[in-house]
Amino acid sequence: MNWPFTSAGSVTETYAFGLLRNMLEIPSASYHERDLAGYLVGAMADLGFRAHIDEVGNVIGVIERGDGPTVMLLGHMDTVPGVLPVRPLDGRLYGRGAVDAKGPLAAIICAAAGAVDFRGRLVVVGVVEEETPCSRGAMAIRTGRERPDALIIGEPSGWSSVVLGYKGKLDLRYTVRCPATHPSNVAPKASELAVACWETLVELLGSEAGHGVFNQPGATLCKLNADLTTATADLSIRIPPGFDVDALVGALRGRLPVGDLEVLNSVAACRVGRADAVVRALTTGIRRLHAQPRLVVKTATSDMNTLAEVWDIPMATYGPGESSLDHSDHEHIMLSDYKRGIDVLTTAIAELALLPVQAAQPEGSQ
Q: What is the DSSP letter of 208?
A: T
The b/e string for 224-237 (b: 16+ C-beta within 10 A; e otherwise) is bebebeebbbbbbb
Nearest-5° angle of CA 70, CA 74, CA 78? Answer: 160
| Those residues with Cβ within 8 angstroms of residue 50's Cβ, 6 or more apart along the chain or in another chain | 61, 62, 63, 365
Catalytic positions are 78, 130
- Distance between CA atoms of residues 51 and 38, nearest Å: 10
| Cβ pair 302, 74 in contact under 8 A | no
* Residue 283: strand, helix, or coil: helix
| Those residues with Cβ within 8 angstroms of residue 207's Cβ, 6 or more apart along the chain or in another chain | none
Nearest one of 75, 126, 123 to 100, comparing CA atoms: 75
* Residue 342: strand, helix, or coil: helix
Q: In DSSP terms, which residues pair with 224 in a beta bridge?
A: 233
Torsion of CA 6, 277, 97, 12, to 10 degrees: 0
